Structure 1
């Protein structure tokens, strides 16, 4: 108890230093906890399911790895006779398949709502046990007329009413709501609004159709995959090679094709960078804490020396230091959680750092920090002080003259880490602007996209439905063509949507050459005019086997300077070829960090029966008029709510993650500057106070305030210069390493480092100048008397 009281008295005696120390550490810990919670949430995605370590998705592999493998159902989608599901083996306890359908219109109370739908069987919720808030899990979806809603979607449809027993309309089927699911305990890579019975829906082509298996306890997945491989007959063209892939690794997986927007995609690179950022911020906070502690210990060295003289054991001194640091760490941790709670809105909506973690994790990381940091900081201070002779401390003799002080070393490290964070954040902003400003090779301005006839999940359409949609689409195009508000229009998809559907990908080659994967897509003749894509060639392709190649495909199939004239398609009948009629510019189809895809365009009028969005180029200056025009037209022939987007906005959305990265690193760099400034303030306060007498004597001998300022500032700018010299090559190498996988990259300009140095130097100057001016203006007589 006595040691605790001594520790509290010491903290209150040096309360300014304690306050600075606690605030700096609180900012550091708040950032570290925010990032660690997010990283933990990302790394534990899909861990919500019990037995998640036994859950696997089926992956279809191709012969000779000619294509990237894809997540694919093991169900008999080809309707083959005598088909045996490869998952019907003793090592698999149970398995299920499901179909994912995106942007399906569901009606409730005569109003349409867009929904992401999963068509599942009753086993699905037993394997992937999303929390069921209402309903009996054992009975859900056993009847084809049942439906299960998520809690958020139920509130959207029925507000505050009890949804159980309510009726919704799905593709003309009246379904009864039987259950409600809540939020999973961890992040899930599979998102949905509604679950229906798989008896109501299967899909052809079988994209977004998946199988999940639950293995028996202690089963070896390698042995299972070997068994599945042995069951595969490579000579049988109607046989598929399936392997199992862990659900735990699905979120971060990038090589295996996942279908169309079914699963959320994680970013391993972002997780790694944020982890390094958290480590740097923790180091900055700890260095700040340690060097301010060093300042306080210098003021208390006589106190500790006297205790040693009167018989205090080393263990007692260590315990006192530990308790003091424990109190400061506890206060800093409390403030950190206050900061986290107060900034929750900024984290979620601006930085989009959304973490789904349990309270156990929050308590665990708090205990770890509370115990780990005081031990490290107290041990450092104790070891450093215990090595000094008692006599030198009592006589106030500094035996470290001429040697670098530990507090200046820590300040230099802080400067270096802060400079690195600033340079990285500035570069991320530059790289983002570089990508946004790069010409994608086609028009993006004033092209609007509108759903008129939303795609449905129906497998077949009646003659009346087809005729109705064809007439509606013709009417839409003719109406826009007659309006001066629009330049041109067509139904279809944008260039950056080409790679999203795996059905668009195929293998082609020049005769006798090597097979290469390309995107082959059919577009309307108005597509090239709409997006202002230039072509070179005599005429546009007319026949079905006549095509255009983009610049990437042109380079891929050119041999010895000879342009390709004919291509063989692996899907076409033997003896038929694709005739190359011309070439287009290299319009961008993917994120600019990736290499562009080779594209083959077939040009002919699309069937009037189209389920794609309307795309229309607006005449300059008529944007608002065009929106009103389309809204009115949608009211006449459209389905569901009127929704529109602009191509320029959709392209910008492709770079949302890059934009967030730039914002996140900028915010953390500013916090690092603030923490360093607090440490610099405490250290300079100590230095100035130690030199009051020296300053007074210099003033008596004629030194001006300007001369005194230069003398005191020289030390800190020397440290800044050393930190800059060390941090510059290290940061350059780190950025260079990060850019290795980028196809398009901004240059690492010298001004990034100059701006970081100028910003850090300016803030340091502002931090120091107030104290130095105050010391320089002190009456010399009073300063000498106080000494």
Structure 2
């Protein structure tokens, strides 16, 4: 029975190896694929936290990934110091790469001075005697430093990150970078490979752009809610302005009629009626600018990422307010400027 189980396990291993060899050949021969790799972590998935120590035993709990060298090339991560290792002596030969934030957290300014170890084993291997060996608990030199990137939602900010880099194995997901505009052709190829390698029509996949989009789905919903309430507030303001201006301008019909009798032209009447509202809008704008700037500062003071608030935004806001306000007033002012003075004086 034991021999039978061993033969079955060996047969399964051979099948897996044959499938992987076939998939690898198909992916390498596809002209629409720029690069691919087998990997458990993606740039957004597969992260864990480990406590690392520097050569002075300063502890830092940081995000730790276990990628292959292709991880850095596929995602085009910028190398600031050193080089991404390509050669490994064995499966237990791992190299340490830190990002810029991790270097700062560990107190290192240069890669040559950087050595780190883990508080608990980062990997476990078997030696030649078949005994388990715990790796990563001794100081290891940092072989490269990469630039910071955001591994999750932007509001979480840049995190200290460590990369335990080793040989690429045949497990994990296939992560593929396609040539622009060739996504359809690559998807057809992958479905064909799935059918021939696993004899199934089921094909699970996800796009990195969709994963990033999902991260911000709640933010988009919140933005939509804010936009709806902002439009409602603008509509209410316009109705209020329309009502007040209607009452005010009708109160001035007699004054307008007398001015027209005394030779006031259309230009003079437009300036007369607009002048009051321009002063009100200007005064409101002067009060609103510092108040809104303060409220934005209070609201965003805990934000890690902030959109810049420049003077241009306020000028755009002023322009929009003028267009909305004058658009609300112009019909009434035009009507008032074209009244018949005789009818107004006679009726009043």
In structure 2, what is the Cα distance between the partners aligned to 1:727 and 1:514?
49
Partner of 1:497: 45
Q: Where do 1:419-498 residues align within 5 Å? A: 463=9, 468-469=15-16, 471-492=18-39, 493-498=41-46
Post-superposition offset of 1:699: 0.4
Say how many residue pairs are matched: 320
* TM-score for the superposition, normalised by structure 1: 0.38
Deviations 1:137-161 (A, max 9, x none): xxxxxxxxxxxxxxxxxxxxxxxxx
Note if 1:522 corresponds to 2:66.
Answer: yes
> 1:332 maps to which residue?
none
How far apart are the structure 1 equivalents of 2:320 and 2:83?
A: 58
Paired residues of 2:101 and 2:148 also in contact (CA < 8 A): yes
Q: What displacement does 1:554 show?
A: 1.8
Gaps of 5+ in 1: 1-461
User: RMSD of aligned C-alpha atoms?
Assistant: 2.5
Label 1:580 to 1:561 Cα distance change in 2 as closer, same or farther (>3 A). Answer: closer
Q: Does the CA contact (< 8 Å) of 1:558 and 1:564 recur in 2?
A: no
1:511 has 2:63 as partner: no
**Which residue of the partner structure matches residue 591 of structure 1?**
153
CA pair 525-475 structure 1, distance change in 2 beyond 3 A:
farther
**Which fold has the larger relative contact order, with Cα–Cα distance below 8 Å and residues 6 or more apart in sequence?**
2
Match of 2:192 among 621, 632, 637: 632
The question of whether the paired residues in 1 share the 8 Å contact of 2:300 and 2:306 is answered with yes
**CA deviations over 1:446-468 (Å, ceiling 9, x no partner):** xxxxxxxxxxxxxxxx9466665
Aligned equivalents of 2:180, 2:29: Cα separation in 1: 16
Cα pair distance change 1:575/1:469, threshold 3 Å: closer
1:116-515 equivalences in 2 (<5 Å):
463=9, 468-469=15-16, 471-492=18-39, 493-499=41-47, 504-515=48-59
> 2:326 matched to which residue of 1?
765
Counterparts of 1:667 and 1:724 in 2: how far apart (Å)? 23
CA distance in 2, matches of 1:645, 1:619: 16
What SS does structure 2 have at the residue aligned with 1:593? helix
Provide the C-alpha distance between the structure 1 equivalents of 2:17 and 2:237, rounded to a whole number of angstroms.
Answer: 66
**How many angstroms apart in 2 are the aligned matches of 1:517 and 1:563?**
22
- Alpha-carbon distance in 2 for matches of 1:687, 1:618: 65
1:663-674 equivalence runs, <5 A: 663-674=224-235
1:743-782 aligned at under 5 Å gives the runs 743-782=304-343
8 Å contact from structure 1 (residues 673, 760) kept in 2: no
Q: TM-score, normalised by structure 2?
A: 0.83
CA distance in 1, matches of 2:171, 2:185: 28
Q: Distance in 1 between matches of 2:228 and 2:295?
A: 19
Residue of structure 1 equivalent to 2:127: none
Point out where structure 2 has 5 or more consecutive residues left out of the alignment.
Answer: 1-7, 122-133
SS where residue 93 of structure 2 aligns? coil
Q: Distance in 2 between matches of 1:620 and 1:681?
A: 52
1:622 aligned partner: 182
Tell me the residue number matched to 1:712. Answer: 273
Partner in structure 2 of residue 700 of structure 1 = 261
Contact 1:498/1:589 (<8 A) preserved: no
- The superposition leaves residues 668-726 of structure 1 with CA deviations (integer Å, 9 ceiling, x where unpaired) of 22221111111111111111211111111110001112211221222222221222112
Distance, in Å, in 2 between the alignment partners of 1:621 and 1:677 is: 47
Task: Select which of 139, 147, 155 maps to 1:577.
Answer: 139
C-alpha offsets along residues 334-378 of structure 1, whole Å, 9 cap, x if unaligned?
xxxxxxxxxxxxxxxxxxxxxxxxxxxxxxxxxxxxxxxxxxxxx
CA distance in 1, matches of 2:147, 2:275: 58
Contact 1:681 1:767 in 2 (8 A): yes
3-state DSSP of counterpart to 1:645:
coil
Give the direction of change, closer, same or farther, for the CA distance of 1:596–1:539 in structure 2 (3 Å limit).
closer
Change over 3 Å in CA distance of 1:650–1:664 after alignment to 2: same
In the other structure, the counterpart of 1:644 is 205
1:568 is aligned to 2:117:
yes
Question: Contact 2:150/2:157 (CA < 8 Å) preserved in 1?
Answer: no
Q: Deviations over 1:470-529 (max 9, x none)?
A: 543443233101222212211223212244xxxx21100112332101122211222222
Native 8 Å contact 2:64 2:162 kept in 1? yes
